[in-house]
Structure 1
Amino acid sequence: MKKKTELLRCTILLLISLGAGLALSLFPDTAARGAARGLNVCLSVLVPSLFPFLVLSVFLVRSGAAALLGKLLEGPMRFLFRLPGCCAPVILMGMAGGYPVGARGTAALLQAGEIDEKQARRMTLFCVNAGPAFVLSAVGAGFLHSPRAGGILLASSLSAGLVLGVLLRGHDPLTVQSRSISRAPAKAGDALVASAFDACRSLAAMCCFVILFAVILEFLSILIAPGMMLACLSAVLEITGGCRDLTAQGAPLWLFAAALGWGGLSVQLQILSLPGAPRLSYPRFALARLAHAVLAVPFAVVLNAIFPPEITAQEVFSNTSSQPAADLGGSPIAAGALLVCCAVFLAACYSPRFGAGRGKKEAHGRL
């Protein structure tokens, strides 16, 4: 029975591969358009909005600065999430930087020995949030032409993520304790160089998935007539194009909140393929993303009723095919978090503890 199942699986994969190869051969222009569209998203959205946060999230862990910040937030972290305080900076960076940043910081904590495998898996389930740069600028101001709508969506997504983290905290007291053996903090200069290379490697993997799903969506747009069904399918597969397509169909705001909570299959595969990521089955991760999407809906409905965004049908549909009007990197919340982490970076550079006791002068010379 097992052999038959494996044979059936291999046969299906072979047919899919042959079909994909045939489609690429018959419609090379379609594939090229999709790849160009995905590459444009990478260069205009992904790299400028994520790279600084990826570098800083890993640097906070490698330099030992996360442990320093964690001491201040040890109590709230243990009470809310049953996690050590060193996880607080990573959760903050995940909320300010975007989908993969929190997951990459979690992997760095695991590699540094600050948390165990069980804690890393739990963090990966809820430290996945859409960043302010994308939600406020691209979705709110760019697609919906309403900064207030972007604020509602951001608040809904972040609130749902925090609630999910509380629900996943469990009751095992051992999960509160971090590992007793952890790696010594690296020198600030070494940590910065390693973090930059790590961010480049992570971004390369993310861009590959974005381009791949852009090609898939380009072919699906040929097979499926434009409409709400195609827009929802687009949101399930890739969040940027999905939000654009939902805007074109006049989707309600709660549907955007659900899409942002889900994150898209492209983002999910990016996270699971990150270097050093904890071993986590996709069904469990997908269930957590679905729970995030469901939790975000009531937040969006309530906030939309209290603070209704000023959107007219003419504003929404007049420029649905245009690029986002706002600068994708211009988020005050993300900029504030970035400045705070830069201050921590400077403090770590000149701290005797994180400079291995060699003093400011030698640390400055190594940088």
Structure 2
Amino acid sequence: MNQTKNFSGLVSLMLAVLIGALPFAAPEACAQALREGLTLCSGPLLLSLYPFLVVSALLIQCPLGDVLALPFRPVAWLVGVDAPCAARVLLVGFLGGFAPAANASAEAVRSGQMTPEEADRLLPACVCSGPSFVILTVGQTLLGSTEVGVLLFLAQITANYLCAALLSRLSRTNRNEKRLSPRPKQQEMPRLRLDSILAQSTLTYLKLCGFVLFFRMLAAGAGALLPPAVSTACAMLLEVCSGCDLASRTGYWASTLCCAALSVQGLSVLMQVRTICPPEMTLRPLYTTRALHLPLSLAIFTLLLPEQEAEVFSTLPARVILMRRLPPDCAVLLLVGCSFAVCQLTNLLLQRDFQETSPGNLDSSRLL
């Protein structure tokens, strides 16, 4: 126990020294990153994020929002969450991205509409960048193609749903949730007060801007001191906006690295989600699915990417030909094979659980 505390203290000391020395080692890069971060928070981010924080708080308290969220009911069923408000949370995540989705999940847990376990299981399907950022900023501005931005968003959101559904099927604790953690009695819906919603949304937005500024400064400082390849990888691990910006300048691998940056999301996004969500939510399913999300999103993006010349990318020369798309018949066979493998694995786990819980198979040593 003492060794763990000593190790944590040593890591904290090293981080404090590195972060404190970074502005002195690269003052111009850090100052420029902070100025760009303030411009981002007062401009595009303010327009694309702040209204959706208000919308998420309003929508999660409005049962009539189920009509708008009707197309997301099958997704909630695949994820294994039967709460009526689950489709509304998925709708908020699809339109607004990770921050409004985390805010909607937190509001649902506080109001008793979902248990913390259900919110944890639903969150991996919602943590992604919003369509406005992926399509307009990454696709149209950085890569020079709105079509590629649409494909990046489709690959990201599809991988989210598949990872969340797969984790729900393979998790043994999820199958016993009704017995271990019953849903509490839903509290009576409070009156909608726009003043409190606006105040809470404003505080949440200011917290998110603080994370954006801090991690953009770290990414810029690392980019000024490290080689280009290492600085790009550090930016992708730290902050998604800086990661996509540096990845779009890598030439041939620009679109693939942008897809990887959107999949990783960065430490900044994970810490923002942790700040928004209540302590009852462990976020373990979210952390577990990030490792699977990266190869899956890259595979889906490669399948969706059409065979065409690279003139659609502003960062690529015209003579470069993109990677070919998998033929439709092979793609269908691959999907069927993967589905069959997942079904067989799920059946094996269910049979093992049934044998372990069967009264006739109780171990005599356990009885003693």
Q: TM-score range by the shorter chain?
A: 0.7 to 0.9
Q: Is the 8 A contact 1:107 1:276 kept in 2?
A: yes
SS in 2 for 1:179: coil
SS in 2 for 1:85: coil
Aligned-residue CA RMSD in angstroms?
Answer: 2.8
Moved more, 148-157 or 162-171: 162-171
**Deviation sequence 1:13-64 (CA, Å, 0-9, x none):** 2233234324435654443222212222222232210111111111112344
Q: Is the 8 A contact 2:139 2:150 kept in 1?
A: yes
What 5-or-longer segments of structure 2 have no aligned partner? 318-368
**Amino acid of the residue matched to residue 198 of structure 1?**
Q
Moved more, 105-114 or 285-294: 285-294
How far apart are residue 78 of structure 1 and its match? 5.8
The structure-2 alpha-carbon separation of the partners of 1:178 and 1:50, relative to structure 1 and needing over 3 Å to count, comes to farther
The residue aligned with 1:172 is 175
Q: Is the 8 A contact 1:146 1:309 kept in 2?
A: no
**Amino acid of the residue matched to residue 199 of structure 1?**
S
Task: For 1:147-296, list aligned pairs within 5 A.
Answer: 147-170=146-169, 172=175, 174=177, 179=183, 181-188=185-192, 190=193, 192-226=194-228, 228-250=229-251, 251-276=253-278, 278-280=280-282, 285-296=286-297
The residue aligned with 2:335 is none
What 5-or-longer segments of structure 1 have no aligned partner? 319-367
The structure-2 alpha-carbon separation of the partners of 1:222 and 1:133, relative to structure 1 and needing over 3 Å to count, comes to same
SS in 2 for 1:305: coil
Task: For 1:295-306, list aligned pairs within 5 A.
Answer: 295-305=296-306
**Amino acid of the residue matched to residue 280 of structure 1?**
T
**In structure 2, C-alpha distance between the alignment counterparts of 1:157 and 1:130, rounded to whole Å:** 8
Task: For 1:1-367, list aligned pairs within 5 A.
Answer: 2-25=1-24, 28-66=27-65, 76=74, 79-83=77-81, 84-170=83-169, 172=175, 174=177, 179=183, 181-188=185-192, 190=193, 192-226=194-228, 228-250=229-251, 251-276=253-278, 278-280=280-282, 285-305=286-306, 308=308, 311=311, 315-316=314-315
**In structure 2, C-alpha distance between the alignment counterparts of 1:105 and 1:10, rounded to whole Å:** 35
**In structure 2, C-alpha distance between the alignment counterparts of 1:141 and 1:29, rounded to whole Å:** 28
**Deviation sequence 1:324-357 (CA, Å, 0-9, x none):** xxxxxxxxxxxxxxxxxxxxxxxxxxxxxxxxxx
SS in 1 for 2:315: helix
How far apart are residue 173 of structure 1 and its match? 6.8
- What is the TM-score when the length of structure 2 is the normalising length? 0.75
Q: Is the 8 A contact 2:223 2:232 kept in 1?
A: no
How far apart are residue 316 of structure 1 and its match? 1.8
How far apart are residue 123 of structure 1 and its match? 1.4
**Amino acid of the residue matched to residue 121 of structure 2?**
R
**Deviation sequence 1:123-174 (CA, Å, 0-9, x none):** 1222112111001100111001101111110111111111122113236275
- What is the TM-score when the length of structure 1 is the normalising length? 0.76
The residue aligned with 2:327 is none
The structure-2 alpha-carbon separation of the partners of 1:162 and 1:309, relative to structure 1 and needing over 3 Å to count, comes to farther
> 1 or 2 for the larger relative contact order (CA 8 Å, sep ≥6)?
1
**In structure 1, C-alpha distance between the alignment counterparts of 2:214 and 2:197, rounded to whole Å:** 26
Moved more, 127-136 or 257-266: 257-266
- Taking only the aligned residue pairs, the percentage that are identical comes to 24
The structure-2 alpha-carbon separation of the partners of 1:68 and 1:248, relative to structure 1 and needing over 3 Å to count, comes to closer
How far apart are residue 275 of structure 1 and its match? 4.9
**Amino acid of the residue matched to residue 163 of structure 1?**
L
**Amino acid of the residue matched to residue 287 of structure 1?**
T
The residue aligned with 2:361 is none
The residue aligned with 2:358 is none
Q: Is the 8 A contact 2:76 2:122 kept in 1?
A: no
**Deviation sequence 1:79-102 (CA, Å, 0-9, x none):** 322212311011011011122121
How far apart are residue 287 of structure 1 and its match? 3.0
SS in 2 for 1:279: coil
How far apart are residue 216 of structure 1 and its match? 0.7
**In structure 2, C-alpha distance between the alignment counterparts of 1:78 and 1:271, rounded to whole Å:** 20
Q: Is the 8 A contact 1:118 1:175 kept in 2?
A: no
Structure with greater Cα Rg: 2
**In structure 2, C-alpha distance between the alignment counterparts of 1:126 and 1:74, rounded to whole Å:** 11
The residue aligned with 2:356 is none
**Deviation sequence 1:276-306 (CA, Å, 0-9, x none):** 3643256x53332232222211110011036
The structure-2 alpha-carbon separation of the partners of 1:45 and 1:277, relative to structure 1 and needing over 3 Å to count, comes to farther
**Amino acid of the residue matched to residue 74 of structure 2?**
P
Pairs aligned (count): 310
